[in-house]
Chains A and B, each alone.
Chain A
Amino acid sequence: MNGFESWALTLAVFLPLLGAALILLIPKESETAVKTVAFLTAGITSLVGLWILTAFDFKSSGRLQLDVNVPWIDVINSRYHIALDGISLPLLLLSMVITLLCVIYSWDHFPEPHNPKAFLALLLVLATGMNGTFVAQDLILFFVFFELVLLPMYFMIGVWGGPNRQYAAIKFFLFTLFGSALMILGFLALYFLGDNTFDIPELIANGSTIARGTQILIFGGLFMGFAIKVPMFPFHTWLPDAHTEAPTVGSVVLAAVMLKLGTYGFVRIALPILPEGAAAWAPWIGGLAVIGIIYGALGCLAQRDLKRLIAFSSVAHMGFVMLGIATLTDYGINAAVFGMVSHGLITGMLFFLAGSIQERFGTREIARLGGLLVQAPRLGWILGFCAMASLGLPGLAGFWGEFPAILSAYNPAGGLPVGLFRGFMVVASIGTVLAAGYLLWMYQRTAFGTPKEEFEAKHIHDVHGPEWVAWAPLLVGIVAFGVFPGLLFNITDGAVQGIAKSLDGSAETADARSGATPVREEKLPLAEEAAH
């Protein structure tokens, strides 16, 4: 292993932090210097990401690569262990790209009270937390990064947010902290029961020795931490507030990357370490997921605020992701990871659009908008495109997150109640119909028709330079992953197989204990098809 290989991940995580420190040294008045440093930092970080992409061995994407494992806190046997596999890689790259695009977008879009210095410094600290969470292979390291994102987001919402920002900021903070306090208790229990280690791969190897009842309890603690972050129904109430009040860039980062920290936690930690706990919880998770899908969709239909509508649609979309995870099959988890990435691209894009619309019209109220296609046709078309992607139109990325997740519920892991999951499948399918309903209705009301009187005379300028630069990669990504889903499935599948292997049989053993007969049906061939 040469020098750079052992440094690449560390650089990917800590370069943004270094950039933030540099920004603090620049006087507040020289805004261009601040923006340049932020841009260069995010750019170089993304270049490191590109290098990681080339160095990554796709043939063995299930193996942890670019491994760094040095002592950190000896006393509690916690190590600075970072590495990435096929699940981490796409999410890490997503986080890097979104950060870079946010810096570009905010070049001339600074929300009040301006202050680019503080804003960009916070954004970069946020990036360190997100990147770190996706590569951490030690529970304590994971916890520190997982929590590191709270402070910058709290300040971002609270300082640059909308009218009700103070309430939204503290609500976001309190909800998440409550979850992570229980999560850390769960981590500690894993430490003592899993042979005194916080190392995730080691715990996966040791974890199955923990008694089933204990697994269920510990899974409960982890569930609270991750489910609040996702957020799953009924813990989702912080999300619409946070999204609505956050500045555009805050919403984008929140939707595109931060929500994934929760689902990633399930896939990386909760499922493989506690397979029997996961099996016991899976029907509940699946149930909450489909409630989330329907509830989110109905919530969308009732919204009058564009951003709030997208926020509720996030609740629904994350429901699909969680449904995929709840099936505990490689098929469902592959779909879930795809869903995370596609939701990141699409919803991130939708929030950019909502921000730009608000900037132009001064309002996000759907009833006051209209005729976007007349006044700013390009903006209108992009909004239409993203709405289609979001409702899961085949050929665009959204489809591959949603459809396989629904399909995976047809055939959950052996031992899980098949009838119940097929019921979930039906409900989730109704959710997609509702999604088409609320997205098209939203599009109809904002983009079709003629402009409303109050904006008729107003000059609405169409998409401009920085917006094109910031949006193009996302739009390309939505199409590329939609047409070639194998691009992503091929990367994730190896790692997902590993997780599915550690889950394998856990539901059956649980089921054998409760006396039911496991039903196993032949595997659906779609995952293989999609992968090739």
Chain B
Amino acid sequence: MTPLLDYHALAPELILTVGLCLVLVVDLFVAEDRKVLVTNLAGLTVLASLVPVLTLAVDGADRAMFGGAYAVDNFALLLKGLFLVTGYVTLLMSVNYLDEGDYYEGEFSFLLLSSLLGMTVMASARDILSIFVALELLSIPAYLLAGWRKRDLRSNEASLKYYLLGVLASGVMLYGMSLIFGVVGSTNLYEIGEVLNSSFGRLPLVTVGIFLVIVGFAFKVSAVPFHSWAPDTYQGAPTPVTAFLSVASKAAGFVALMQLVFIGFLGRDDVWGPLFWALAALTMTVGNLIALRQTNIVRMLAYSSIAQAGYILVPFAVAGDSREALATAQSASITYLAIYAAMNLGAFAMVIAIARRTGSGELSSYGGLFKYSPALAVIMSAFMFSLAGIPPLGGWFAKFMIFRAVIEAGTASAVVLGVIAAVNSVIALFYYANVAREMWFSPSPEGVDDRSRVRVPAALSAAVVITLVLTLGVGVYPNAIARLGDMAVLVR
């Protein structure tokens, strides 16, 4: 008999909650020039909450609480780990950025931890209500974080756009959820799954409900045509926040989608299959084509992350209804998310590092970087080509898993989507290679040699090293990540 409250299972969330309260209180008593302490405290909190995630993983037992609404299983643990590591790397990236930009630090850490708390809850949520609560908990702090450079108009725009479209998406999603609840009479995903498999599941009302819920999450993961907020928000937000949004927040959206689709809506692949097919094809293609024309590195990465979301959607589109294909598809999505997190965070960390050197986020300012800062150029190239999926960098395995899911499904529509993905990976190479081209082949802009050597601060270096090691390690020995992805499959 499991106790009513399993404190071990809830420990990551509890530690985060205590930590974020502490951060808020300590911030009041720390002098203005020593705010780094607060960020350090937040970092320690994240690391501390990783400990119970690990002990739970070693323990290995699946736990469920609150009538099955909250589950701690391999899936939940793996994604909690992913969110926490992402949060930690984001904090590493933010320390100097906030300090030097003279932005509020304590509140930043507080909001970031709150958002992280929402994400860890999301990974365990097996009930449409707890999914919704988690989603709001992770989104609302993110709306605020996007506007953190409050003296900058772009940042204001970023925050407002993100907020308005995010709330609209929540509304659409909630309406869809209410329709499903109306038919099923339960908010529990497993019960929804059972009912949708019966004749009730064929009701048009359910079809509309599923459609609306998925559209709502399509906003969250910035799938085309619901992506319009992403580029402006990504460009306007402070760069560490952009990294956090494009990785953690997007991953949270996918986590919710996986739980909904692979548990709740499992029987209705006739609704979500074609929908995801269209979303995936559009998202990859539109994201990549617009990314080709970008001249600002962050905006380019914004469109690139839209396109990457398209690849992650591909397995959803081809999963179909055979258990085996579903398992492969889900494992592919999880693996892709994990690898994408490492390489995209790394790319943003390098954007920050290079901006300290060149003083600009315009691609044209990257000229000649290889000549005066070869290390920065080489590492940035590694992340770019990893995003493009060139072996032996991690991205190749992510793409490989997607193609594997496509071919395993084997249907004509799946293979067509696979070919679309293949063509897209060639288009994507063009703009990723363009960054490398600028750094390696172009001459340095005027006066760059006079600029004194700017050191990359320790925290930022740590962020780069963590992500680089993961990206390279996964590329050379993908077995570890693939096994984790396999273990975390929800469908058995």
List residues of chain A with CB under 8 Å of any chain B CB: 28, 71-76, 113, 118, 140, 143-144, 147-148, 150-151, 154-155, 158-159, 165-166, 169-170, 173-174, 177-178, 181-182, 184-185, 188-189, 191-192
Contact = CB atoms under 8 A, between A and B. Distances in A.
Contact of B482 (A71, A76, A184): A76
Contact of B403 (A72, A170, A185): A185
Chain B interface, >50% SS class? helix
Interface stretch (B13-21, B228-236, B350-358, B421-429): B421-429
B441 A147 contact: no
Top 7 closest A-B pairs, CB basis? A181-B422, A75-B482, A188-B407, A144-B391, A147-B391, A158-B441, A178-B426
Contact of B433 (A173, A178, A181, A182): A173
B479 A72 contact: yes
Interface of B: 370-371, 374, 385, 390-392, 396, 400, 403-404, 406-408, 410, 415, 418-419, 422-423, 425-426, 429-430, 433-434, 436-437, 440-441, 477-479, 482-483, 485-486
A184 B400 contact: yes
B370 A159 contact: yes
Nearest to B421: A181
A114 B28 CA distance: 56
B94 to A, nearest CB: 30
Contacts of A73: 477-479, 482
A118 B374 contact: yes
Contacts of B425: 177, 181
Given A166-B441, A188-B407, A189-B407, A154 B433 contact: yes
Contact of A185 (B392, B419, B429, B430): B419
A181 B434 CA distance: 19
A302 B418 CA distance: 41
A174 B370 contact: no
Given A76-B404, A76-B482, A185 B441 contact: no
Contacts of B486: 75
B317 to A, nearest CB: 16
Most chain B CB inside 10 Å of its own CB: which residue of A74, A113, A173? A173
Most chain B CB inside 10 Å of its own CB: which residue of A148, A159, A184, A192? A184
A181 B437 contact: no
6 contacts: A72-B479, A74-B479, A75-B486, A76-B482, A154-B436, A191-B404
Given A148-B392, A181-B425, A188-B404, A170 B430 contact: yes
Contacts of A76: 400, 404, 482
A73 B401 CA distance: 12
A192 B441 contact: no
B396 A169 contact: no
A74 B483 contact: yes
Contacts of B403: 184-185, 188
A75 B392 contact: no
Contacts of A71: 479
A148 B472 CA distance: 13
B441 A151 contact: no
A158 B390 contact: no
Nearest to A159: B440
A45 to B, nearest CB: 19
Contacts of A143: 391
Contacts of B400: 76, 140, 184
A17 B419 CA distance: 33
A181 B482 contact: no
B408 A192 contact: yes
Nearest to A74: B479
Given A177-B425, A177-B426, A144 B482 contact: no
Given A166-B441, A192-B408, 16 more contacts: A75-B483, A113-B371, A147-B390, A147-B392, A147-B396, A150-B390, A158-B440, A170-B434, A173-B429, A173-B433, A174-B426, A177-B426, A181-B422, A181-B426, A184-B400, A185-B403
Given A165-B441, A170-B437, A177 B429 contact: yes
Given A150-B390, A158-B440, A185-B422, A192 B410 contact: yes
Given A159-B441, A174-B426, A185 B407 contact: yes
